[in-house]
Chain A
Amino acid sequence: MPPFRAYEHLARLALLFAAGTIVFLVVRWALVPADYGRFGPYRANALTEIQARPIVYAGQAACVDCHTDVAEVRRANTHARISCETCHGPLAAHAADPAVAARKPDPRAVCAVCHLPDAAKPASLKTVVFDDHADSGPCTSCHPPHAPQL
């Protein structure tokens, strides 16, 4: 075994590496978020952060809560299972504060989205060529929007 003096420089190198490792471990302990690893290899608080995102669409139930009369009208007709927000757009702001206006959709454009014919649409969907069907008035002049089947 050679005298310590001969490999003393290697001991200094080893000490430097050991010090570096300790610094790394300390930094790691300081910086890794406390909730990391609680449920798996991720930050547990990310779950709550994602869940806390505010909603933009209110959901059917919120509409029916107040507009029971409209719900009643729709119940017996073909649009019964279509959500209000499909045509009226996002309404969470309105549901939270009724003073915020709800959008009234354009009474021809919104119907065209579904009811214009297209070969790719399933045959079960009733479609009609708008130009042949009636003059260019709004669909709602004959079809009440919440009970469209005449």
Chain B
Amino acid sequence: MAPDRRTFLLETSKLLVLTAAAAAAWDYVVEGAPEQAPGYDDTAHWWAMLIDVERCIGCGRCVQACKAENGVSLESQYFRTWVERYEIDPDDPEHPRVSSPNGGYDGFPPSQRPGVKTFFVPKLCNQCADSPCVQVCPVGATFQTRDGVVLVDKEYCLGCRYCVQACPYGCRFIDPETHTADKCTFCYHRITKGLQPACVEVCPTGARVLGDLKNPQDPIHEFLRTHKVQVLKPQMATHPKTYYNGLDGAVR
């Protein structure tokens, strides 16, 4: 190769390598450290939720509070949390009748059918420890925080809807205003300030209880030890962190 061309190539490669190194260094400087809510250490918590099916009265306050607190559309296809009513006829246990009128937002009309096993089941994001929704997001717009909450970055989400398809529980939806994915966040903006999630705050019977599995003093540990507790669709192996006490086998 002619010496001129060789020198040229050598000099160009040197320049490229130095530019790349400088860019990386500049990145590091510019990145800075994002500030968390003051006083909140996200490595000190591992959030979970306890739902006591035996206490839920289907009043729908949780659904209302969630929509108000999180600015969720009032249309009937978008819920971060909702309540279902099951009516199981003893003659036909394979086919429970399930209803969730407007997600239970205005409560439920009185049960019509006597002699039927009937109860309410509140549903929300299970904040799965091995979440399939996080796995399939193509850009990292949905992620699990270090304290165990699965969040959606609305500034980054493309609205491809893959995560909505991947959730086995139907917890996700696309916000009709922002066109990004949305779901229950355990009211992350509240729990990081020491408050309760809105649904827990307004539940009149204590059917919803937030728990911190990393806190040895949290009553959830004792509860899980002394009660028969289930999760939804355990065969999906998503390791949900929403535990149900008194969950009937018919619940889907």
Contacts and interface: CB of A to CB of B under 8 A. Distances in A.
Contacts of B56: 122
Contacts of B16: 22
B127 to A, nearest CB: 14
A23 to B, nearest CB: 13
A34 B205 CA distance: 46
Q: Give the interface SS of chain B, mostly helix, strand, loop or mixed.
A: loop
Contact of B140 (A36, A57, A86, A121): A36
A90 B68 contact: yes
B57 A51 contact: no
Nearest to A46: B153
A119 to B, nearest CB: 4
Interface string B110-144: 11001010111000000000000000000011111
A96 to B, nearest CB: 14
Nearest to B24: A29
Contact of B108 (A51, A56, A120): A120
Contacts of B31: 34-35, 38
Interface stretch (A64-72, A110-118, A132-140): A110-118
Interface stretch (B163-171, B192-200, B220-228): B192-200
Contacts, number: 143
Interface residues of A, number: 46
Interface residues of B, number: 61
B156 A43 contact: yes
A43 B155 contact: yes
A46 B198 contact: no
Contacts of A8: none
B233 interface: no
B172 interface: no
B85 A120 contact: yes
B153 A122 contact: no
B34 A47 contact: yes
A54 B193 CA distance: 11
Given A45-B34, A50-B189, A55-B195, A34 B27 contact: yes
B176 to A, nearest CB: 19
B93 interface: no
Contacts of B177: none
Given A120-B58, A120-B120, A46 B156 contact: yes
A53 interface: yes
Interface in B44-81: 54-61, 65, 68-70
Nearest to A29: B23
Given A29-B27, A34-B31, A51 B55 contact: no
Contacts of A42: 140-143, 153, 156
B193 A117 contact: no
Interface of B: 16, 23, 27, 30-32, 34-37, 40, 42, 54-61, 65, 68-70, 85, 87, 107-108, 110-111, 114, 116, 118-120, 140-146, 151, 153, 155-156, 185, 188-190, 192-193, 195-196, 198, 201-206
6 cross-chain pairs, A with B, having the tightest CB-CB distances, nearest first: A46-B153, A42-B143, A53-B189, A41-B140, A119-B111, A120-B118
Interface of A: 22, 29, 33-36, 38-57, 59-60, 81-83, 85-86, 89-90, 113-114, 116-122, 124-125
Given A48-B35, A52-B189, A57-B190, 18 more contacts: A35-B31, A38-B31, A43-B156, A47-B151, A54-B189, A55-B69, A57-B198, A81-B206, A90-B68, A113-B107, A114-B57, A114-B204, A117-B110, A120-B87, A120-B108, A120-B119, A122-B54, A124-B55
